[in-house]
Every structure is written in structure tokens, then in C-alpha cells.
Amino acid sequence: MSERSNIRDVAALAGVAVKTVSRVLNGHPYVSAETKARVDEAMLALDFRPSVAARILSGAKSNQIALIYDNHSPFYMFQIQTGCWEYCKAHGIRLLAQPVDVADPQVGEQVRGLVTETHVDGIILSSPVTDCDPVLRALESMDIPFVRISPGTNHALTSSVFMDDAQAADDMTTHLINHGHRRIGFIKGHPNHMASDDRLNGYRRALSRAGISYAAELVCDGAFDFESGVRAAELFLAMPDRPTAIFASNDDMAAGVLAVAHDRGISLPDQLSVAGFDDTTLARTVWPPLTTIHQPMAELARTATEILIAGGDINHRRLPHRLVERASVAPPFRKPT
């Protein structure tokens, strides 16, 4: 990848002084129309972004950063935004939160426009934007610092913060196995998230280690939202030999499973155990309260913000997860006492 053009390149191509380019960028009145036209043509030819150029030329910082996200769980995003905001507030930095659609063919240009228009000093990418190639290419071409939360690919590309999703899913599956479950339904996460595959791999790894054969019919696609949890639960609970436990890849989908079980009069956890992932506030407010994996979402975001503002060399930090036991998991078909 070629280096991004700078103000000196523009001046050379236009045949003017660097100070003249600066005057054009800042709308100085004493620049002839002919000179301005030559500078504008040079900037266009070099794909030179005036707002970025002005920031680099002046050496000034805007003291604001942007969080870019595309996530279907409001509980997850609340924690991510809170972590970023808390660190920004403590350090006098303004936080801009911008949702995007990673499936939009123009998402790269949209992010490019955000940087150009807002003059942000850096970017935090939340999953699944963290692995979106058009966004990554746009940010690299603009030479703006960015930190990725939970990347699934190209780990050495930039600074990042993450947890071990596969091991976390392995831990939860093992927890269910240790309670005596052998038919464990699993609801996958959204296909745009690399963590979805990692969590499925952790589930499969735990089954294999316990000598339990993987059964494709016990794995259902999900989308990290309540509705996909409902759909998966309806499929699982309609089986003649239904699972005795269902492990959903996030708490929103686990809540959907609980809703279907309640609607069918299934006793929880006596007749069905349910486990989630993330430990959002939802996990503590549903009934029964969810056994889940605590993902340190706010801390991931806070750490990403800290790394971004500190600058310097590429930095990778892995944060620990933990299994939180609540009332939604029990041995299979335990009789009420």
C-alpha cells in the first residue's frame, strides 16, 4: 500500500508553495481563482482529504474520538459505550458514537466521510466492524489511529483488546456437562461476528473432550437478538428428544429461550437448563436469572480507549472472562422437592 499523500505532495503537483495550499485549505481570501483551481485539482488527483490535511498541517488535535459499531444487542452496546465514555470523560475527550451497517457496500466510504467531516483524532471499532475489510482499508488509507475490540482476523494489524471466546464457550459447555447434561443445544451468534465461530468451536471442543458426539441438529443459527433465540428454542423444544440444556451465544438469545419455555409451561431449570453469554444487565433481570459468561464489555471498551488515546506502538491486551452461576442451570430433569 502506498503512503498517503501529504500537503507537500499537493504543493509539488500544483506547482505552488506549501503555504499556498494551507491558504486554500483554510479559505484564505487572497488566493487567485486559478491557483485555487490548480490546488483543488492536485488534491483530487492525489485523493487528498482537506480536513485531515488541515489537522496534520496545524498539528492540532480535535480532542474527540469515534466509536463505530454494528451490533444487534442494546445491552451489549450500552456497556461498550459506557466503557468508552467513562475513560473519555475522565480525560477531557469527546466521544462520537456512529452506527453503521457492515453489509452496506458503501460502508468504507461512509467511515471515510465520518473521519473527514468530524476531524476525530482516532477510531474505536466494535465487533463486527472490527473485521470489516472496507472499513479497515479506509482507515488505513487515511493513516488515522484505530483500536479494534475483539478482532477475529489480522490480529497484528492494529492495537486490539479481546477475550478468549472459544475458551469461554468451552468453560460453559463443560459446566453443563458437569451438571450431567449430554444433549446440549447451542445457538450460534450472528454470522458477521467472528466471535460466533469461536464460541461454536469452544462448544464443540468441550463436547469432544467429554466424549460426546457432535450433533448438527443441536446447533441452530442465531443473530444475537431475542427473536432468533425464540426461533431456535421453538425448534429445539419441538424435538421428540429435546435438549436438556440450551446454551445461547449471548444473553439476548438466552432470554428468548426462557420466554418460549415459560410459554410452554416448562419448569426452569428443573426440566430445562439455559445458559447465556456476556453477562449483560438482562442476565440479572430475567427469570430465572441466567448462568452466563461474564464478558468484560465495559472494561474492553475502556481499555481500547486508553490504548487509542495513549498512542505509541501496537498494543494487544487480553482480558479475562469468568463463568457466573445463577439459577438457570441444574442437573437434567431434577424433580421438585
- The answer to whether the CB of 309 falls within 8 A of the CB of 90 is no
Q: How far apart are CA 100 and CA 97, in angstroms?
A: 10
Domain ranges, ordered by start, for the chain: 7-58, 64-163+298-321, 165-295
Contacts made by residues 150-157, CB under 8 angstroms, sequence distance 24+: 150/126, 150/194, 150/195, 150/300, 151/127, 151/194, 152/127, 152/193, 152/194, 152/195, 152/197, 152/198, 153/194, 155/316, 156/314
Packing angle, helices 7-14 and 50-58, rounded to 10 = 110
Lowest average pLDDT, out of 8-17, 37-46, 47-56, goes to: 47-56
- The answer to whether the CB of 207 falls within 8 A of the CB of 182 is no
The pLDDT confidence band at residue 63, using thresholds 50, 70 and 90, is confident
Lowest average pLDDT, out of 123-127, 129-133, 172-176, 191-195, goes to: 191-195
CATH fold match for the domains 64-163+298-321 and 165-295: yes
In whole angstroms, how far apart are CA 69 and each of 72, 99, 133, 309? 10, 5, 14, 19
* Prediction pTM value: 0.78
In whole angstroms, how far apart are CA 25 and each of 21, 28, 109, 112, 139? 6, 8, 21, 18, 22
Strands ordered across the beta sheet of 245-248: 219-220, 184-187, 245-248, 273-278, 291-294, 322-324
Q: How far apart are CA 79 and CA 227, in angstroms?
A: 21
Q: Check pLDDT > 60 for residue 53.
A: no
pLDDT digits (tens, 9 = 90+) for 110-159: 999 998 888 899 999 999 999 999 999 999 988 899 999 999 887 777 89
pLDDT given for residue 221 in this prediction: 97
C-alpha 129: how far from its chain's center? 6
Lowest average pLDDT, out of 21-30, 48-57, 77-86, 309-318, goes to: 48-57
Element (H, E) at 95: strand 94-99
Q: In this structure, which topology does domain 7-58 adopt according to CATH?
A: 434 Repressor (Amino-terminal Domain) (1.10.260)
Assess if CATH 3.40.50.2300 describes domain 64-163+298-321.
yes
Q: Check pLDDT > 90 for residue 307.
A: yes
- Of the CATH numbers 1.10.760.10, 3.40.50.2300, 3.30.365.10, 3.40.1590.10, which one belongs to the domain with range 165-295? 3.40.50.2300
CA atoms within 13 A on the CB side of 233: 29
Q: Which of 72, 238, 335 is nearest to 246 (CA)?
A: 238
List the alpha helices (DSSP H) in 210-292: 226-237, 251-263, 281-285
Query: Could you give the percent of the chain with pLDDT greater than 90?
Result: 71
